[in-house]
Structure 1
Amino acid sequence: MNAVPLPKATRRGLADEAADLVRDALFDGRFPPGAPLREVELAAGLGVSRGSVREALARLREEGLVRGGWHRSATVIEVTADDVREVYELRAALDVLAATTARRTATGPRLDRLDALVDALEAKAHGGADDAELAAADLDFHDHVYDLAGNARLTAAWHAIRSQIRLFHLHRVTGAADGYRAHVVDEHRRIAALLRGDDESALAEYVREHVDAARRILLAATR
């Protein structure tokens, strides 16, 4: 049986770089929710072709950061109540599974990294870091919990919604009506401590409440 020839691989380096740069701009708050993303302006600003921008926007659309595109104008996703409910309900389930799995499998030295990440979060929360830097430091902590769990498919599920979570989380931090900077460090130290403990049910309950609190705050902001 003759092998079917495969199509030639194509390089998409410029589209990949354009996607990274636009994504970073979204996470930095330079394009607020609902802002238009115009191909011509982005191509000129990034120094790439409109085709590369079009591919970049398609990738960001797959990540859930952009709506529209191709035959419709692309815009940054808005923080709607339905989106918040769907994303944070899924996040709660994933975060609980990641935390309880990490508690069973992670060793002391690997858990020490969590303490360092909380220290970094504290430095940003009380050291004048901007909202985007603080939101990124928060998610760095949660990324490491998933790493500690050591479940590749669980991590892949996390990354499927991570971009949306980071954008929504930036919206929450920027609003900060709940005094986010005042309690974020204590919340993450509590999670780190529970990961070292023997009470898995207490860990699961606290992680679920941690996510649910963020969901409630975001839902209140969408009204």
Structure 2
Amino acid sequence: MSTQNSAAAAGRPVLVTDVLRERIVEGDLPPGTPLRDVALSAELGVSRNTLREALRTLHDEGLVTQRLHKGTAVKTLSAEDVTDIYIARRTLELSAVEASPLAPEPLLDAMEAKVAAAELAVSAEAWDKVGTASLRFHQSLVALLCSARLDAFFRVTIAQLRLAFAVMADEGAFQAPWVARDREICDLIRGGRRTDAAAALRLYLDDSERTVLDAVRANSRTTTAPKGKR
């Protein structure tokens, strides 16, 4: 095998990982979805070994579970997972607001474009797109830190968040009010009001964490309750 072909083969698990993670972010792979080797490798046009390597990476990222004799499935997050995610969110997103005066203009434009996309999804009542669009805004906010490593970390974080959002009884109703707050944060950053933006974001994250935790805990009680007591 040539060096070029070897490099291409080595990169396939990374590409498959990216594709599957993106499907999670888009809401196409909700918690509990089984990821079967034979069907999925055929669909993606890769070997089962390549798929298994990608699934191991997703497991390490906390996006899937792998159990002996039960296979691989998209993970259902716990309350502890959610709490940890929001610790990371506060650290990165508030740091991004602090760094925003130094951010290149194209990154600020990209951030504003993500808010506009979320607003468009709300106006079209495309509720299956609203949550993803809002997550993209927060991803673009972290991008203001201009760190490829942090960008890669946050790509995993928004996929985890999407799994947490999926337990909402009505995700559209849950997501819609946050977009206006995304717009507020964006406008404060663009207006140079860094302190106000940080305050708005801190309150946003507090409210979001509380709401998501309540939903995750309620879902956990429902799924673990004995039949007849749900």
The 8 Å contact of residues 117 and 141 in structure 1, kept in 2 or not, is answered as yes
| Corresponding position of 1:54 | 52
TM-score, length basis structure 1: 0.78
- CA separation of 1:199 and 1:76: change in aligned 2, threshold 3 A: same
The answer as to 2:208 corresponding to 1:214 is yes
Distance apart, 1:145 and its partner CA: 1.9
| Corresponding position of 1:203 | 197
Inter-partner Cα distance in structure 1 for 2:29 and 2:179: 28
- CA separation of 1:212 and 1:173: change in aligned 2, threshold 3 A: farther
Inter-partner Cα distance in structure 1 for 2:153 and 2:102: 19
One-letter code aligned to 2:138: H
Cα-Cα RMSD: 2.9
| Corresponding position of 2:116 | 119
| Corresponding position of 1:40 | 38
| Corresponding position of 1:106 | 103
Distance apart, 1:93 and its partner CA: 1.8
| Corresponding position of 2:84 | 86
The 8 Å contact of residues 125 and 134 in structure 1, kept in 2 or not, is answered as yes
SS of the aligned residue for 2:126 comes to coil
- CA separation of 1:171 and 1:92: change in aligned 2, threshold 3 A: farther
The answer as to 2:158 corresponding to 1:140 is no
TM-score, length basis structure 2: 0.76
| Corresponding position of 2:183 | 189
One-letter code aligned to 1:90: A
The 8 Å contact of residues 98 and 154 in structure 1, kept in 2 or not, is answered as no
- CA separation of 1:41 and 1:174: change in aligned 2, threshold 3 A: farther
The answer as to 2:158 corresponding to 1:158 is no
Distance apart, 1:10 and its partner CA: 7.2
Distance apart, 1:208 and its partner CA: 1.6
Unaligned residue ranges in structure 2 (runs of 5+): 1-5, 219-230
- CA separation of 1:198 and 1:21: change in aligned 2, threshold 3 A: closer
- Give the number of equivalent residue pairs: 212
- CA separation of 1:54 and 1:111: change in aligned 2, threshold 3 A: closer
Inter-partner Cα distance in structure 2 for 1:110 and 1:25: 24
Unaligned residue ranges in structure 1 (runs of 5+): 1-7
